Amino acid sequence: MAPTNRQARAARAKILAGGKSRKARVERYLKSTESKIKENARNALLLKGIRCSQSMGMVLKDLRSVLAPNCKLLSKNNSLVAFGDSSGQQSLEFLTTKNDCSMFCLASTNKKRPNNLVIGRSFDRALLDMVELGIERYKSLCDYSSAAKKRVGSKPMMLFVGDLWEHDEDCVKLKNLLIDLYKGDPVSKLMHSGLDHIIVFTTAGGGDDNNNNDTKPLIHQRTYFCKLKKNPRGGNAPYPLLQPCGPDMDFRMRRIQMAEPDLWKASLQQPQSAPGKSKKIKNQSTNLFGERIGRLHLERQIIDKMGGRKIKALRRADKLEKEADRAAVESELDREKGESNKEFEQTYGYQEE
């Protein structure tokens, strides 16, 4: 059984305080939840709300087929409400932590909000943000029984058509969520056969006046299977042929809950060991040819009192020079002594002993 949220936080606080964790499994769990340079695929938890119709259950099953193997589907209904209920959000945090999923899709149906789908994600075992979608039209995988299906684990090509994906704040947040939901495992290289389907999201204008004055844009999601054919014009690049394979849906955004500024800023931080995140070294730069150039700031140096390194040849020369100076001094002293003796003998008539 995995440690609970409270146990994990207590163990982490104890480690930061300088102590050791009591249980090795808690340490292994905390190590697995640390930030990574290259993140793994985001796992999605698919669950039902208090009431879930058969059509919304089909939506969850199709999502499981599209997101496999990075998803987990819970068959039982859960008495939780995502928006406006703190206990419901705590239940979502508990379920995502227990099932090791950073994203969730909650399907429900009621009189006020029929065919409701909530897509959200968590960070550090806390709810980050979520968007509520109202599905108005849905075409499942069963309606495309004769069409080819995507391979398990293949990465999708995603296309967002419309200016709202770049200029509308809610659409930008939804686009970020959809990319995290469908992108799958991070890879460095791709084969042509790995790109076997494309998901197209198209935004239409706001709702008309006959639809309860709904101003939210209608979003069309279409999925196509990409069949690679030989290019009739020649060349190594294959020619893609698109055919609908589902699932397809039309939906509108109903409610959206943004992330807290502090939590959102923490979720965007990267480890210091990540590429491009190395600590900048002062007074160093790289020129056009890739050579490292540095600038040194030194105090004023007194060169006269500095002793340099003397090799053996220089030490011998210094010794010979000192001996020559000593011999010159001694010869000068002997000459002066001889002259003084001569002067003494001339003066007193005998030599000085």
pLDDT by residue (tens digit) across 4-37? Answer: 556 666 666 666 666 555 677 877 777 777 777 7
Phi-psi region of 5 (alpha: psi -120 to 50; beta: other; left: phi over 0): alpha
For the residues 337-341, what does the mean pLDDT come to?
83
User: Where does the pLDDT of residue 310 fall: very low under 50, low under 70, confident under 90, or very high at 90 and above?
Assistant: low
What phi and psi, each to the nearest 5 degrees, are found at residue 304? -65, -30
- What is the reported pLDDT for 82? 87
Task: Tell which residue, 99, 88, 96, has the closest CA to residue 123.
Answer: 96
What phi and psi, each to the nearest 5 degrees, are found at residue 116? -100, 135
Torsion angle of C-alpha atoms 338, 342, 348, 352, degrees rounded to 10:
20
User: Where does the pLDDT of residue 2 fall: very low under 50, low under 70, confident under 90, or very high at 90 and above?
Assistant: very low
Are the C-beta atoms of residues 153 and 268 closer than 8 Å to each other? no
Task: Tell which residue, 182, 178, 176, 159, has the closest CA to residue 68.
Answer: 182
**How deeply is 226 buried, as exposed, middle or buried, from its count of CB atoms within 10 A (0-12, 13-18, 19+)?**
buried
Are the C-beta atoms of residues 104 and 127 closer than 8 Å to each other? no
Asked if the model's pLDDT at residue 120 lies above 90, the reply is yes
pTM score, whole prediction: 0.68
For the residues 199-213, what does the mean pLDDT come to?
67
Task: Tell which residue, 42, 10, 40, has the closest CA to residue 26.
Answer: 10
Mean pLDDT is highest, among 5-14, 130-139, 273-282, for 130-139
Task: Tell which residue, 348, 140, 114, has the closest CA to residue 244.
Answer: 140
- What is the reported pLDDT for 105? 94
- What is the reported pLDDT for 320? 87
The alpha carbon of 297 is separated from its chain's Cα centroid by a whole number of angstroms, namely: 37
Query: Amino acid letter at 285?
Result: S
Sign (positive or negative) of CA dihedral 267, 268, 270, 275:
positive
Q: Which residue has the higher pLDDT, 38 or 126?
A: 126
What's the angle, vertex CA 222, arms to CA 220 and CA 226, rounded to 5?
A: 155
